[in-house]
């Protein structure tokens, strides 16, 4: 719920879902996360108050926050890893393909990243994850993919076939400099693989382990993201997101740019 510029981080992910044509948004939350539900709920009292004060544009903004999708909430009773969080949504998702978005990763591009993954999945029937290139010396902090050309004419070199996924490999053993970047479009079969994953350190069930077995069973694709990623879960990344997205904001950008130009060390 931390705001980046003028809205909370999680709202960027929700807006990305809506832009991709996703109608049902499932939040996997934990204890004390009721603020998320409140944020996306209707607030007729506030809307009426703003209307009565001739603040129609602000009333419309409040109204829009809770529209555009059907919001569903489920609780993860314990933080037992990303794989476990995804598994918590299994009964709601059912037998449909679904997207996973990690909201602390803000994706900024002309075409929403989740829409690109959706189009690739609909064309190929294969689970697809977003990857991005980073300097090779930083790969040991991330999940890394081992890939080969997919030879899909429509997407050219942007879509690759995954051979394996490696979690935080040593630099000298990393198969590539392409890291998993917080967006997934997965088939419902992933749930069967998640149920078979053995818990690791701290009893956590890792999504990467299930993706590895899914890759061997059905095959998976990686889409090289060509937009900008902001890691709002990192302190420096959070500051960078506020500055860069603030500069791109139509209303705030010009004045903010002037402020930065005149800022003295």
In the predicted model, is pLDDT for residue 35 greater than 90? no
pLDDT at residue 51 in the model: 63
pLDDT at residue 63 in the model: 59
Spatial distance between the Cα atoms of 65 and 68, rounded to a whole number of angstroms: 8
Domain ranges across the chain: 3-233
Three state DSSP letters for 162-182: EEEEEECCCHHHCCCCEEEEE
Spatial distance between the Cα atoms of 85 and 222, rounded to a whole number of angstroms: 22
pLDDT at residue 46 in the model: 52
| CATH code assigned to 3-233 | 3.90.550.10
Contact 184, 66 (CB under 8 A): no
Q: Mean pLDDT across the stretch 167-195?
A: 92
Start-to-end CA span in the chain (Å): 31
Q: Mean pLDDT across the stretch 44-52?
A: 58
Confidence category of residue 168, pLDDT binned at 50, 70, 90: confident
pLDDT at residue 43 in the model: 63
Provide DSSP, the chain: --EETTEEHHHHHHHHHHHTT--EEEEEE-TT-HHHHHHHS--HHHHHHHHHTT-HHHHHHHHHHT-SSEEEEEE-SS---HHHHHHTTHHHHTTS-EEEE-TTEEEE-SS-HHHHHHHHHHHH-SEEEEEEE--GGGGGGSEEEEEEE---TTTGGGEEEEEEEEES--GGG-S-SEEEEEEEEE-TTHHHHHHHPPP-GGGPPPHHHHHHHHHHHT-EEEEE--SEEEETTSHHHHHHHHHHHHHH-TTTHHHHHHHHHH---
pLDDT at residue 58 in the model: 57
In the predicted model, is pLDDT for residue 62 greater than 80? no
* Prediction pTM value: 0.87
In the predicted model, is pLDDT for residue 64 greater than 70? no
pLDDT at residue 92 in the model: 95
Angle between helices 56-65 and 44-52 (to 10 degrees): 170
Question: Which residue is it, tokens 């791109």?
Answer: 248
Contact 163, 150 (CB under 8 A): no
Q: Mean pLDDT across the stretch 223-242?
A: 92
pLDDT at residue 70 in the model: 87
Tens-digit pLDDT profile for residues 119-164? 999 999 999 999 999 888 888 888 899 999 888 888 889 999 999 9
In the predicted model, is pLDDT for residue 55 greater than 70? no
Confidence category of residue 40, pLDDT binned at 50, 70, 90: confident
In the predicted model, is pLDDT for residue 32 greater than 90? no
Confidence category of residue 237, pLDDT binned at 50, 70, 90: very high
Confidence category of residue 41, pLDDT binned at 50, 70, 90: confident
pLDDT at residue 196 in the model: 93
pLDDT at residue 188 in the model: 96
């Amino acid at each position: 719920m931390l705001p980046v510029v003028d809205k909370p981080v999680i709202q960027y992910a929700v807006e990305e879902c809506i832009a991709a044509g996703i109608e049902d948004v499932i939040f996997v939350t934990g204890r004390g996360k009721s603020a998320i539900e409140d944020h996306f709920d209707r607030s007729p009292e506030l809307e009426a108050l703003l209307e009565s004060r001739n603040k129609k544009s602000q009333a419309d903004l409040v109204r829009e926050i809770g529209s555009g999708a059907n919001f569903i909430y489920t609780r993860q009773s314990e933080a037992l890893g990303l794989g476990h969080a995804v598994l918590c949504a299994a009964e709601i998702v059912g037998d449909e393909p679904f997207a996973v978005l990690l909201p602390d990763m803000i994706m900024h591009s002309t075409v929403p990243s989740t829409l690109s993954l959706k189009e690739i999945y609909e064309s190929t029937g294969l689970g697809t994850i977003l990857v991005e290139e980073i300097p090779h010396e930083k790969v040991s902090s991330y999940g890394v993919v081992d890939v080969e050309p997919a030879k899909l004419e429509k997407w050219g070199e942007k879509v690759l076939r995954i051979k394996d996924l490696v979690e935080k490999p040593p630099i000298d053993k990393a198969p590539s400099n392409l890291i998993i970047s917080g967006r997934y479009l997965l088939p419902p079969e992933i749930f069967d693989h998640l149920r078979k994953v053995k818990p690791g350190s701290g009893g956590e069930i890792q999504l990467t382990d299930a993706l590895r077995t899914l890759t061997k069973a059905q095959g998976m694709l990686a889409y090289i993201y060509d937009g900008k990623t902001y890691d709002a879960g990192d302190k420096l990344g959070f500051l960078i997101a506020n500055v860069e997205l603030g500069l791109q904001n139509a209303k705030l950008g010009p004045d903010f740019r002037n402020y930065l130009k005149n800022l003295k060390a």
